[in-house]
Homo-oligomer: A and B are copies of this chain.
Amino acid sequence: MNGTLYIYNSLSRCKQPFKPLNAPHVGMYVCGPTVYGDAHLGHARPAITFDLVFRYLQHLGYHDADEGEDKIAKKARLENLEPMEVAQYYTNRYHAAMDKLNVLRPSIEPHASGHIIEQIAMVQKILDHGYAYVENGSVYFDIEKYNKEHPYGILSGRNFEEMLNTTRELSGQEEKHNPVDFALWKKAEPKHIMRWPSPWSDGFPGWHMECSAMGCKYLGETFDIHGGGMDLMFPHHESEIAQSVAANGKQPVTYWMHNNMITIGGQKMGKSLGNFITLDEFFNGSHINAKGEEMIAQPYSPMTIRFFILQAHYRSTLDFSNEALQAAEKGYNRLMEAVKAAKTLKATDGAQPLDIQKIVYACYDAMNDDFNSPIVIANLFEAVRIVNTVKDGKAQINAEELALLNKLFQDFVFDILGLVESNASDGNGALVDGLMQTIIDIRKQARANKDWATSDKIRDELAKLHITLKDGKEGTSWVMD
């Protein structure tokens, strides 16, 4: 019914019926832009042109390899692109989730598979310095040799014997001179998809190599801060140190920072444990656990999640519970309400000082004390209390302190804690505010006219949208719950 697709082929200079090589799979390659400036209309055209092509082919039932893998699993050639497609797919989704959480993008986001040359060069350096050996095409780090000159375990605090006891036996262990040794380069099994040529074998780098090689390439042999989750401290970061010291003869990092885990019912939340709840599930408010229990009582906005995490110091464990998230949601809303209200407060000449400066200093002290965000938040709530007393006319604030108060919120709530007003996080924030102002004005007029029917109707309709109006000294404000 859809007829035959004819494509103008620049090569044949005529329209030809479209016959894919491996239907239903279509291989399409489009040259992307060289990104050294902002995209302009000229960039939009190829993007939209080939988006149209992609969408139509998809509509016709063709697809690329990340769909219907079963169908194409047999095609060895196509199998090769599967891992990269999977990585791309989840990378895109990861970025989308991080954007919702208002996480700033790193200034460089290098990929291990894009730095094989650098990793091979570093493995060679370690071999040249005598801290590694080659067995059957794989290269292993010689920890016993290294440990004689440099303590292995300085980061995790583990000692050699302890490690010997805790090391699991994995495939390829028999090639190791010592079970604690780890792979710098692994020879690929015939079936292994990700493989690159190297002086030792067609294979792939050991998983500790990437961070050492990329950190060194982009930040230098020694750089300031290396961060990661506590579960990466051993063996990953410990091995990074050993690799860098063996290759460059110096410690790679001045400050190692490790965030603690999120727990759920006291147990670490993680893919391996199968007890994780995805961020989208939090945002949508739906997650059924393995036992078939609904784990999330309601949707939680990205800012609620962000506030929840900031309410704990990064080195403390943080236990998930609906109660904790609901408390975070209330706290976040209270804070944001006050931040909004502070902008509308009127200064009073000669008002008694309210010690805003003390709060500012306390916030800096907290941040300077190893980024203690919960203490910052506690101090911000002290500022919230002041805003509300002034709003309710129970206190006055002078112009100087009002400016300082608003600067405090700008600096710590928005710039440093990275919170955003939930309905400012999208393009319609202004529109929503405009519509709300219209509704508030109509309601005000209705009440002036003693038209209670209308003002009640407005209250009820807004309630359906989870919007509550608050009549205060400074006029009517609104909050979403």
Asked if B117 contacts A11 (CB within 8 A), the reply is no
Give the interface segment out of A87-95, A132-140, A141-149, A392-400.
Answer: A87-95
Once the chains are docked, how many angstroms separate the CA of A104 from the CA of B441? 42
Picked from B7, B87, B196, B445, the residue with its CB within 8 Å of the CB of A36 is B87
Once the chains are docked, how many angstroms separate the CA of A314 from the CA of B30? 14
Once the chains are docked, how many angstroms separate the CA of A254 from the CA of B309? 52
A11 to B, closest residue via Cβ? B256
Contacts of A256 in B (CB 8 A): 9-11
Asked if B8 contacts A417 (CB within 8 A), the reply is no
Asked if A59 contacts B416 (CB within 8 A), the reply is yes
Picked from B315, B373, B453, the residue with its CB within 8 Å of the CB of A52 is B373
Once the chains are docked, how many angstroms separate the CA of A315 from the CA of B29? 18
Distance (whole angstroms) from the CB of A347 to the closest CB of chain B: 23
Picked from B6, B277, B445, B465, the residue with its CB within 8 Å of the CB of A434 is B465
Q: How many copies make up the complex?
A: 2
Contacts of A292 in B (CB 8 A): none
Asked if A15 contacts B105 (CB within 8 A), the reply is no
Contacts of A465 in B (CB 8 A): 431, 434-435, 438
In the complex, whether A80 has a CB less than 8 A from a CB of chain B is yes
Asked if A418 contacts B15 (CB within 8 A), the reply is no
Asked if A41 contacts B282 (CB within 8 A), the reply is yes
Asked if A6 contacts B369 (CB within 8 A), the reply is yes
In the complex, whether A103 has a CB less than 8 A from a CB of chain B is yes
In the complex, whether A387 has a CB less than 8 A from a CB of chain B is no
Asked if A6 contacts B368 (CB within 8 A), the reply is yes
Contacts of A45 in B (CB 8 A): 229, 259-262, 309, 314, 318
A13-70 CB contacts (< 8 Å) to partner B: 13, 15-16, 18-21, 26-33, 35-56, 58-59, 64-66
A314-344 CB contacts (< 8 Å) to partner B: 314-315, 318, 320
Asked if A454 contacts B434 (CB within 8 A), the reply is no
Contacts of A364 in B (CB 8 A): 1-3
Contacts of A418 in B (CB 8 A): 48, 51-52, 55
Picked from B2, B80, B104, B436, the residue with its CB within 8 Å of the CB of A55 is B104
In the complex, whether A4 has a CB less than 8 A from a CB of chain B is yes
Distance (whole angstroms) from the CB of A416 to the closest CB of chain B: 5
A77 to B, closest residue via Cβ? B220
Distance (whole angstroms) from the CB of A124 to the closest CB of chain B: 10
Once the chains are docked, how many angstroms separate the CA of A278 from the CA of B92? 23
Given A53-B225, A432-B428, A434-B464; A103-B59 close (CB under 8 Å)? no
Given A282-B41, A442-B458; A224-B21 close (CB under 8 Å)? yes
Given A88-B109, A114-B113, A431-B428; A415-B103 close (CB under 8 Å)? no
Given A93-B39, A432-B428, A432-B432; A211-B29 close (CB under 8 Å)? yes
Asked if B38 contacts A280 (CB within 8 A), the reply is yes
In the complex, whether A371 has a CB less than 8 A from a CB of chain B is yes
Given A111-B114, A432-B431; A233-B37 close (CB under 8 Å)? no
Interface centre among A27, A29, A91, A446 (most CB of B within 10 A): A29
Once the chains are docked, how many angstroms separate the CA of A315 from the CA of B98? 38
Closest 6 A/B residue pairs (Cβ):
A114-B114, A27-B223, A35-B90, A27-B219, A428-B428, A40-B276
Q: Given known contacts A29-B225, A31-B229, what 6 new A-B pairs fall within 8 Å (CB)?
A: A26-B225, A41-B269, A44-B305, A46-B227, A84-B110, A435-B435
Cross-chain pairs A/B with CB under 8 angstroms, 15 sampled: A1-B364, A10-B258, A21-B222, A26-B224, A28-B227, A31-B237, A41-B262, A41-B276, A45-B259, A49-B257, A53-B257, A55-B417, A88-B105, A426-B426, A426-B428
